[in-house]
Every structure is written in C-alpha cells, then in structure tokens.
A and B are shown apart, each in its own frame.
Chain A
Amino acid sequence: MQTRTTSDGLMRAKIYDSRTHRGYDDLRRALANPRLIWLLAFRDIQARYRRSMLGPFWITISMTGTVLGMSFVFSTIMNRGYDDYVPYLAVGMALWAMISGIVAEGANSLIQAAAMVKYTTQPLATHMLRHQLHQLIFFAHNIVPGLVLCLLLGKTGLAGIAASLAGLLLTFVAVSSLGFFAALVSVRFRDIPQIATNLMQVFFFLTPIIWPLAAIGDRTYVLDYNPFYSMVTIVREPLLGIWPPAHAWFIVGGVAVLGWLAVAVIYERIFDRLSKWV
C-alpha cells in the first residue's frame, strides 16, 4: 500500500530551492492539485450545513426569500412591474453575493488557514483558490431562483445563457484576482478585511443591483468608474434578454489581466514573509 503511483509529476516537486521557488512555484503547485481545492471548498460548504436536513439548499431558499421580500418593497418604491424587477433583482443579488464574498470574505482566506499554512507543506495559494471556488459553488445555489424566473418569463434562451456563462467566467477570473490580492495584503495589515467589507458595502449601493439603471439619470459617472457595474452587466443582462455593450467586456477583461499581473508581482515579492505573517 506504500505505492506512490500518482501520475502527477508536479505534486512531487523533486527540488525545493529557497532561492528560486516562491510565489509562482506555489501557485503552480496549488493548481497542480485541483482535487484538493475542490475537496476543501466542498468541505467549507458542508461544514456550514452539517446536520441540517436541506443542507446547502438553504442557500437557495434564503436567496428566494430575500428576493421576494425585497421585490415586494422595491418594485413599489421604484414603480416597476414585477415581471421586470424580480428577475433583475434575483440575478443581481446572487451575483453580488459572489462578488462581495470573493473580495470581502476572501480577504480572510489566508488568515483563516493559519494552521495549514504553519504546519503543512500545502501551497498557500490553495487557500485563496479554495475560497473562490467555494463562492462559485455558493453562486450556483443562489442563481437558481433568478435563472428559473428568467426562463419562465421567457426572457432568455440558450444564446443568452451561453453569453451569461461566458460573462460569469470572465467576472469570476477578474474578481478572484481582487480577492487573492486582498488576502495577501490582509495577512500583514489586519484592518484590510474590515476595509474590504465596508468598501464592498458601498459598491453594493453604487452598482445597479436593487435600483434600475434608469434611476441614475444623467449621473452616469457613478457607473463609468465602477468596474463592478461592468461585471454585473455582462452576466445579468444576457439573462434578461439584453446584449451588454462590448466595452463592459473589455473593462472586466482589463481588470482580470491587470489584477492577476498585480497579484503575480506581489505574490512573488512578499512570498518569503507570508507564512511568518500568518
């Protein structure tokens, strides 16, 4: 039983050299073991709903409740029909839960994994990636009511869903870089998780999630400088039967590229000190 027949040459880094193996190597090792990332993310979800009968479906139920309650109030205030407003809100809320979860809770992902960071040889990036995947699984439960509504109301078809999925993928990659970045900085400066939480709260109100786009009038600068608006747009709009403008894609793509570049530079640079800071 002591066989070590794993096919993953990568996991068994044959050489470790402190002079050359830093952030890049860590990230490479983390990505070489996706099964561990998946199991940890799954365990995080499981741990939360342990011994409950409905398990993770509570996520779906609570999102449905939130959306119904808010729809009742806000569709009246905003003077909008349920047909348009409820799916708009349901998709937007699910999406925002993922975005803010990845950034704000993500800031704590490395701090929370302190025991594994200090006592095991597991790559550190595993913990950031695990948290991001956890949020994606969460989203898959949260989006159900919105998706069902959009389909029932005939707002979208296969093309819309495909476009939305592509948008989701890009948004996930982009926002994950922000979460990864926040996690790195938070290890050293423990105020960052608080700042990130508050910042995301502000952006929640600055982004058209509960209020319709038209409500902003001509003060569109609120949207022009808000990358989260573009993220929400490229995922939500296709599901509502609207084609998002091309520049929204470019903005999110830009965040993804710049974000991961920044992460790469910083991760490699501060890697030597990370485990001591945790």
Chain B
Amino acid sequence: MSGASIEIVDATVDMQVFTARTVSLKNALGRALTGGRVSQGDGVPTVRALDGINLTIEAGERVALIGHNGAGKSTLLRLMAGIYRPTTGHVRVAGSIGAMLDTQLGMDPDFTGRENALLMAAALGLSRAESRAIIPGVIEFCGLGTFMDLPVRTYSSGMLARLAFGVHTAVSQDVMLVDEVIGAGDAAFHDKVQGRLADFMQKAQIMVLASHSDGVLERYCNRGIVMSAGTIVQDAPLKDALDFYHWWIAEAAKLAAAANSQDESA
C-alpha cells in the first residue's frame, strides 16, 4: 500500500504513578468513603511524560529521536505503536506497524532461540508454514549457529538483539519503530544489519529510531527530532538536529558549570 503516515495532534501522555498505597482497593474504598476530604494529600501523583506533541511523518522519512534519558523518546515510540494512548489529543497511523522496543519482546528465557523465533513469528501473524520458512534466513542473519537450539537465557544481550531483529526484519511492515535495539550489536553485526536494513527499508515506508549513538542515527536516518522533558524542542534534517542537540548540551553544561563556580565563590 502506498502513503503510510503518522499523525500526532496535540497529544499529551500522563502517567499515574502508583505505589502500594494508591494501587490497593482498601485505599480507593477509603477515599470513596471519606468523600476525598481526609485524603486530599494522597491523590495519585501524575507525571506528564509527553506534552503538546504535534508531529507528522510521511512515507519515505527515516526519523531519529534524539535526547537524553527521560526526554520522552521511548514514550513517543510507544505512543506511535499504540501501546500508550494519548491522555488528550490523538494519534493516527496509516499502515501496518512493526515495533522493536525491547530485545526481549516477550521471549521466554527457558525456551530455545528457535522456539522463541517461531513464537515471535506467530505474534507477527505468520502461519505455521511461513514461520518455519523464515527460520533459516534468521539463523543465517544472526549467526547464532548451534546457539539457536539452546535456551535464550544463555544468550548475551547482543545475541538476543540479533534474534529479535532477525525475526522482525523478516516480515516487512509499513511503519517500523525501533528503540535502541540496533545499538546492542557489534561492528560485524552492524555491517550485516545495514545490508538487511537497506533491504527492509525499501519495504518499510517509515522508520522511527531512538538511539544515543550519533553513528547509528547518521547511518539510518534523514530527519532528526530533539526531545527534552516530554516536548519536541527541534525538528530538522538530521545533521542540523544533531548539531543543535550538541550545541544545546554544551550550553547547558556551561550554564551548570557557571552556576557551580558561583556557588563555590559565594
């Protein structure tokens, strides 16, 4: 199909933070019974994980999400994937969605790589025969060899990433959302990934990739979105976005240093 797109309009994502206190029924009942009078102080604390996101991504774009930990990159990916739902505003994605947000991806550590690969394939909607058919390619791609028939708890994080990546790139999707997963491989893996990714990309119309590695982002992306504290602070061609991000970090560091020295002199 043509014309995959992602459209996010005025989206905010609020996360309620539950503790044992707020999660339990006893407290909810208690609050209900006391009419919220006594318990003013113990409403559920809420964190605004994303705030006022407006974003349109068209077919052909390879978008990098840039920002430090906690800036909202992963939350934005989950919002696009439909895992988190916007508290206000809306999200609309045209096209089939593939998400690699974690290297585990529901794998069971006690089952072998092959068994987990077959399960992931089923999760992607492949039939039994189709699942079997992709396995040789996955083995070849991830270079796991005989490890394929060992429980995945014996795998390193890089090996897990390869397996997940191998299965997910065997099935083409219109929109591909990737979080850090690619960063977990070694150099040889990256060369291989690039071959397969180039292949895969011709079918995927949109890719959104969150990573802390400039090298990885430069390799795969053409548009950069810089995030901070749950908002988009810059949206530009990748090079400009990265430049902005580094300038911005340097400025922030300078400010912090200035504040520090002021503290010391005072």
Q: What is A's interface to B at a CB cutoff of 8 Å?
A: 1-2, 4-8, 11-19, 21-22, 33, 35-36, 39-40, 43, 47, 50, 115-122, 188-192, 195, 271-273, 275-277
Question: Are B97 and A121 within 8 A (Cβ)?
Answer: yes
| Residues on B with beta carbons closer than 8 Å to the beta carbon of A22 | 85
Query: Top 6 closest A-B pairs, CB basis?
Result: A11-B125, A119-B102, A272-B85, A116-B106, A12-B96, A189-B25
Which of A4, A43, A192 meets B171, CB within 8 Å? Answer: A4
Q: Given A4-B172, A35-B127, A189-B28: A276 and B94 within 8 A (CB)?
A: no
Question: Are A47 and B171 within 8 A (Cβ)?
Answer: no
Residue in A closest to B15 when the chains form the complex, CB atoms = A276
Q: List 26 A-B contacts (CB under 8 A).
A: A2-B169, A2-B171, A6-B126, A6-B127, A12-B96, A12-B125, A16-B82, A16-B91, A17-B90, A18-B85, A18-B86, A18-B91, A36-B122, A36-B123, A43-B119, A50-B110, A115-B102, A118-B78, A119-B105, A120-B99, A120-B106, A121-B98, A189-B24, A192-B25, A272-B87, A276-B15
Residue in A closest to B196 when the chains form the complex, CB atoms = A2
| Residues on B with beta carbons closer than 8 Å to the beta carbon of A121 | 81-83, 97-99
How many residues of B are counted as interface, with CB atoms below 8 angstroms from the partner's CB atoms? 57
Question: Are B93 and A15 within 8 A (Cβ)?
Answer: yes
| Residues on A with beta carbons closer than 8 Å to the beta carbon of B111 | 43, 47
Question: Are B92 and A15 within 8 A (Cβ)?
Answer: yes
Q: A14-B1, A33-B123, A119-B102 are in contact. List 8 more A-B contacts (CB 8 A).
A: A1-B133, A4-B172, A15-B93, A16-B93, A35-B122, A35-B128, A47-B111, A189-B23
Minimum CB–CB distance for A240 against chain B, Å: 40
> What 1/0 flags go to B124-151 for Cβ under 8 Å of A?
1111101001100100000000000000
| Residues on B with beta carbons closer than 8 Å to the beta carbon of A47 | 108, 110-111
- The number of inter-chain residue pairs (CB within 8 angstroms) is 131
Question: Are A15 and B119 within 8 A (Cβ)?
Answer: no
| Residues on A with beta carbons closer than 8 Å to the beta carbon of B133 | 1
Question: Are B137 and A1 within 8 A (Cβ)?
Answer: yes
Question: Are A39 and B122 within 8 A (Cβ)?
Answer: yes
Cα–Cα distance between A188 and B44 once the two chains are bound (Å) = 12
Verify if B194 is at the interface (C-beta below 8 Å from A). no
Question: Are A6 and B125 within 8 A (Cβ)?
Answer: yes
Which of B92, B118, B123, B200 meets A16, CB within 8 Å? Answer: B92
Verify if B219 is at the interface (C-beta below 8 Å from A). no
Which of A8, A15, A191 meets B94, CB within 8 Å? Answer: A15
Q: Given A2-B200, A8-B125, A33-B122: A119 and B106 within 8 A (CB)?
A: yes
Cα–Cα distance between A8 and B128 once the two chains are bound (Å) = 13
Which of B24, B118, B169 meets A190, CB within 8 Å? Answer: B24
Residue in B closest to A18 when the chains form the complex, CB atoms = B91
Residue in A closest to B103 when the chains form the complex, CB atoms = A119
